[in-house]
Amino acid sequence: MSKPALGRGLGALMAGNAASTPSAASPVPNPGEPAAPPIAPHDRVQRVPLSKVRPSALQPRKEFSAEALQELADSIREQGIVQPLIVRENGGFYELIAGERRWRAAQLLNLTEVPVITREADDRAVLELALIENLQRENLNALEEALGYAQLAEQFQLTQEQIAIKVGKSRAAVANATRLLKLPAAVQSYLRDGRISVGHAKVILGLDLEKDQILAAERVIKEGLNVRQTEGLIAKLQARATKPAGEHSQPTATPADANIIRLEDKLRERLGTKIHLKYAQGKGAVEISFFSDAELQRVLEILGINVD
């Protein structure tokens, strides 16, 4: 069964429950905004006070570029808001479902009113649709994306497979994204600031101890290591951690060590869990970690093993 296309849920919510045909007169969106979905015949666009619109606490995106917001504000100054904000009524206010960038730009312009379309949506739908809207435009950083997936899993008890279907990603992509939340806060900060990449972070996760992960990240930054060089560093740190007590010679990373790290990373991406590969002279073992019965079942399904 094929997975739904990314954003199908968002389109359904924004265009209403009834099917609608795109109009040739559909407005051209402001720069940086996705194409405006068609407005269903029963939709009613209303103008409400900007002061009555509130951002959603479920919005996964936390960082907004000041420069991009100013560009959007300049466009709105010239054209107005051509795409209504999507909101739900909540506690006497209008809570945003989609359109926070337009809302922020409207604040920069000190607008008194904004156009909105009101929808009925529960918390889970709001979070799902906020994730989809941002993923469509690749506006989320890696940690914001991971936190959104984690919230769907923890707050609404969705499996990684269910999340993947809803947001149009592969299950492995969702699993690998959420693994980033296992990094220490300091390393997450480096990732959020762009001082290390997601590729660096995945390799650093091969270390078991937080102090080693932090040490590795700091060396990556200080020495300007690329991902391949980081693999060699991680192999060296792993060798040092497993060296028997009393041996003081400095371990050196070999091409084989780097290849093992690379293979571990590929296995992690495929299975979406922690992997440890032991290898020496053509012999070794693959250790696959799982942290719940559900995760074990998921790994077995990926491997094509039916336990029934």
Residues designated as active site: 100
| CB-based contact 117:44 (threshold 8 Å) | yes
* DSSP code string of 224-255: T--HHHHHHHHHHHHHHHHSPTT--SPP---H
End-to-end CA distance of the chain: 22
| CB-based contact 54:93 (threshold 8 Å) | yes
Q: For the stretch 88-102, what's the b/e string if a residue is b when 16 or more beta carbons lie within 10 angstroms of its beta carbon?
A: beeeeebbbbbbbbb
Using DSSP, state whether 23 is helix, strand or coil.
coil
Q: Report the greatest alpha carbon distance in the chain.
A: 78
Using alpha carbons, list the distances in angstroms from residue 89 to 57, 120, 127, 237, 258.
14, 8, 15, 54, 54
In sequence order, which ranges of the chain are alpha helices (DSSP H)?
8-15, 66-79, 100-108, 123-136, 142-156, 160-167, 171-179, 185-192, 198-204, 210-223, 227-242, 255-271, 293-302
Residue 153 CA to residue 24 CA, distance in Å, equals 40
